[in-house]
Chains A and B, each alone.
Chain A
Amino acid sequence: MSVAIQFDPIRLPPEAEALRAEVRQFLKEEITAGTFDPNGGSRDNPEFSRKVGERGWIGITWPKEYGGQGRSFLERYVINEEFLVARAPTRKHFTADRQSGPVLIKYASEAIKQDILPRIIRGEVSFCIGMSEPDSGSDLFAAKTKAERTDGGWLINGRKLWTSRAHEADYMIGLFRTSAPTHDNRRHGLSQFLVDMKTPGITCRPVLHPNGNYEFNEVTFDDALLPLDNLLGEADMAWKQATSELAYERSGSERFLETIQVLMELVDVIGENPDVREAEGLGRLVAQLHTLRRMSISVAGMLHAGKEPVLEASVVKDLGTVWEQALPSVARDLAAFVDSDPGNRIRFEEVLARNITIAPKLTIQGGTTEILRGIVARGLGLR
């Protein structure tokens, strides 16, 4: 076989399903207790993150020496999807749990690991990712923000842009230029750093979404001095370090469940006796979603087995984000002729409106459609 795209039929193991029951019970209790409202309120909820931390559900796969539980990636998968579907306010710990913590485990000094990992696990600190810049978005390796080595540490100067939640984050994992690209490798010369966002010389400026939401920032570094110890991994070699991180970032259920509430509300608004058009439309959506979930779990199984399924992860993210992006408009069509009671209808319309307005970003963040298809084309041997 010349084309090696692999999706083995992986099923979540019994311990993961047992955990699912616990997670559902926890979410039910927290909703009842008023800790969060699935239909509204802020996605940032420090109290919720602290409670999740108490359960041991942040950094659940991390080594025990740092407060983790050394449990399987498939168990984390279950927690993640249940939180997403319940619209649990995970913002404070989400990024740290998914990718920043794993980067620290792999590349940070022992002192940093001892200091920060237990605090992530308790749900006390949040991370942002400093990659894009004014002249470097999809083309990550064009990043210009500089890190200069001085006697006292690394001196950072430049600007990051589109940095989600930088204004709320305690730390950033930033990608900075430590030397020029080489003639035969334009990816050379970038390094990853741990940045304490309270470092003097760092300022965040809001860049609002079209609906007024504050998520993006422009982060300016003006002679911000980082300790020498904050270089993560090898200088100039970030391009090598980022590969496995991407497989984690791109294959998770957040790449197809972002607008799932629309589908659940659609089912309720359509009611128990759909006409054939509604039923067929609904059936197709469910078949597509079920297929995506099977694919995503298959990738989780490969990650669990220690493989680096970068191609497969890109396939999941492209299919998943295109699907979740289209979902609100498909649902809008399917519900067009529904005569349901006004209460149901109003709720559906609210959920629909929220998701239609966020949909465009889904195929941009974390790797655009075009970039992902480029990766798939490379995997097919075309580049």
Chain B
Amino acid sequence: MDEAESLVRDAATRIFQDLGDPQTLNNAADDAWRAPLWSALEEAGLTTAWVSDELGGAGAGIGSGFAVLRVAGEFAVPLPLAETLLAGWLLEQGGIVMPGGAMTVAPTRRADKISLVDGKLSGTVRAVSFATKVDHIAVLADDHVALVSAADCLCRDGLNLAGEPLNSVDLSGVTPLQIATLQNGVDAKALNMMGAAARAMQMAGALQTVLEIAVQYAEERVAFGRPIGKFQAVQQNLARLGEEAAAAIAIANSTAHSIETLESWADDGVYLDVASAKIRVGEAAGQGSAIGHQTFGAIGFTKEHILHRFVQRLWSWRDDFDNEAVWAAELGRRVAAKGGEGLWHGLTAA
């Protein structure tokens, strides 16, 4: 992590500690925390880290944006921060100026396609996070990026496993506020990769917190006359959780680095990192969540405890920008096409 990244990391951590503490949010009777937290993030430039100064962003760079996402995962932030970052990044690829406010991005599934005919959009996309809570949607349509007012779209209500909006969005007949041709070799595949990498980083952050609170609980909770963390069975479980978190952090970091330094979105090495991250972190999310719950026992399976804030998001984020199985089948086909020796050459070239 370079100096700029750790500054951004510290800034984000302070804001979430002050205004987005998971326990405080969990106890909150209403949504009064939402506006101050979002304003603080906007003022610090964290919502536009991936947008250049010229287009109204903070110009913090790819690495810093991923650093923000890792911290957001560590706090299980229930705001469209990743979505706004991704939308900003996509608009940037068309040179569209940031409209300000919260945004989301579409499509989020490789099977969903939006087309642009005579200045109007056509098609429906599934599983768009926070579509009903944001002002704008950045839409990839054919080889264009379109800025759309969320109010112009037909959004079907829906929630993810953490109770956050996850909507089907019918874009047919919608006239975008702005349209631009995509540059820098960015296409639907690149958007899918960028989204997958973002979710992988959030999951790595969330897993790190699940590990930390589980270890802390095991040190404090006494049963049979000792802290439960003194029992070998519990230690072995937590070691497994630590290993899953470590794998997630390692591949998510590696992927962020690959994207930060990439020369082309068509590079096989970048693809291998992103696909591996979405698959391996998704697997770690499943296994890590289970061990987290097992450690906390009954108290962890309550609304009053914060564990669910992390676990439910881990479960949900696994599915966004295509789940492990979809990525694995695609990666597997690519590997099969190159044969056994090609596999090793591909790994070492990445």
> Which of A's residues lie within 8 Å of B, judged by CB?
1-3, 5, 7-9, 11, 20, 81, 85, 260, 263-268, 270-274, 276, 278-284, 286-295, 298, 312, 315, 318-319, 370, 372-374, 376-377, 379-383
Contact = CB atoms under 8 A, between A and B. Distances in A.
Q: Which of A263, A292, A315 has the most CB of B within 10 A?
A: A315
A102 to B, nearest CB: 25
B250 A267 contact: no
A132 to B, nearest CB: 22
A178 B329 CA distance: 58
A3 B208 contact: yes
11 contacts: A260-B344, A279-B330, A286-B272, A287-B280, A293-B347, A372-B239, A373-B240, A379-B242, A380-B215, A382-B218, A383-B230
Contacts of A290: 251, 272-273, 276, 280, 347, 350
Contacts of B333: 274, 279, 283
Contacts of A319: 243, 246-247
Contacts of A312: 246
Contacts of B1: 8
A281 B230 CA distance: 37
Nearest to A282: B332
Given A274-B332, A380-B239, A291 B280 contact: yes
B302 interface: no
For the complex, would chain B's binding face be called helix, strand, loop or mixed by DSSP majority? helix
Interface of B: 1, 208, 211-212, 215-216, 218-219, 229-230, 232, 234-236, 238-240, 242-243, 245-247, 249-251, 253-254, 256-258, 272-273, 275-276, 279-280, 283, 324-325, 327-333, 335-337, 339-344, 347-348, 350
A294 B254 contact: yes
Contacts, number: 180
For the complex, would chain A's binding face be called helix, strand, loop or mixed by DSSP majority? helix
Contact of A3 (B229, B232, B242, B247): B242
Given A3-B242, A382-B215, A377 B235 contact: yes
Contacts of A286: 272, 276, 331-332, 335, 343, 347
B219 A291 contact: no
A282 B238 CA distance: 28
Contacts of A287: 275-276, 279-280, 327-328, 331
Contacts of A265: 340
Enumerate the 8 nearest inter-chain pairs by beta-carbon distance, A residue then B residue, closest first: A283-B328, A283-B332, A264-B340, A279-B332, A7-B250, A283-B331, A282-B332, A9-B257
B243 A318 contact: yes
B254 A9 contact: yes
Contact of A267 (B235, B245, B329, B335): B335
B219 A284 contact: no
A287 B246 CA distance: 15
Given A3-B242, A273-B336, A370 B236 contact: yes
B250 A298 contact: yes
Given A9-B256, A291-B250, A315-B243, 12 more contacts: A3-B211, A9-B250, A263-B340, A264-B343, A268-B339, A270-B336, A280-B328, A286-B335, A291-B247, A373-B239, A374-B232, A377-B238
